[in-house]
Chain A
Amino acid sequence: AQSVAQPEDQVNVAEGNPLTVKCTYSVSGNPYLFWYVQYPNRGLQFLLKYITGDNLVKGSYGFEAEFNKSQTSFHLKKPSALVSDSALYFCAVRDERSSNTGKLIFGQGTTLQVKP
């Protein structure tokens, strides 16, 4: 069955330190993977996606994600965290059963807390 897992409910990091938000997936075919961010009282915003090509994907606000096929992971990273990065982060994978309609399967979300 297709699924996305975000093993950490919350990640705490000090400002200026690197951050990693973890995501693992399970699909039967080629994975199409996404990261979204949700700030308080806002809708989800697209950060980046992996469809094919380079395993390191760069996205908005200095974020990047590394696709690792052997570990079925797509961890979100940033070299130097900002307090303003504090938000809820969602990993998502395309639903292969409805590949032409844009349906995504979302993880449960990880709260990132960046302390000054």
Chain B
Amino acid sequence: DAGVIQSPRHEVTEMGQEVTLRCKPISGHNSLFWYRQTMMRGLELLIYFNNNVPIDDSGMPEDRFSAKMPNASFSTLKIQPSEPRDSAVYFCASSLRGTGSSYNEQFFGPGTRLTVL
């Protein structure tokens, strides 16, 4: 199993540009999570999907951020326009929704390091 795949691994862009981050979850997983990690704020949950449907986007910082999951094997996180304060590492994670008392862990991708100049 290749695990969660994220691309690009590094992105450097200029303020005002559009940035698109991509994620391929583990095959068969039905929950997908987007996180942001910075030194100042730690690990923050931005949005998560269950069966391709956005469940909670309350962590999305502002309207410049949007996320989609058109199918079970692909998700994008878009920032438009980007700002220097968006510089962070963005992680995607997936998990298999459990039933009953089972509860399955999240598997994280390697992250995308975004730098906005």
Contacts and interface: CB of A to CB of B under 8 A. Distances in A.
Interface residues of B, number: 27
B18 interface: no
A26 interface: no
A76 B84 CA distance: 36
Given A49-B105, A103-B48, A109 B43 contact: yes
Interface in B26-60: 31, 33, 42-43, 45, 48, 50, 55-56
A114 B42 CA distance: 22
B105 A98 contact: no
Given A108-B42, A109-B43, A103 B56 contact: yes
B56 A52 contact: no
Nearest to A48: B105
Given A46-B106, A49-B103, A101 B55 contact: yes
A46 B103 contact: no
Interface in B74-117: 91, 93, 95-98, 101-111
A104 interface: yes
Interface of B: 4, 31, 33, 42-43, 45, 48, 50, 55-56, 91, 93, 95-98, 101-111
Interface of A: 32, 34, 36, 42-46, 49, 51-52, 90, 94, 98, 100-104, 106, 108-109
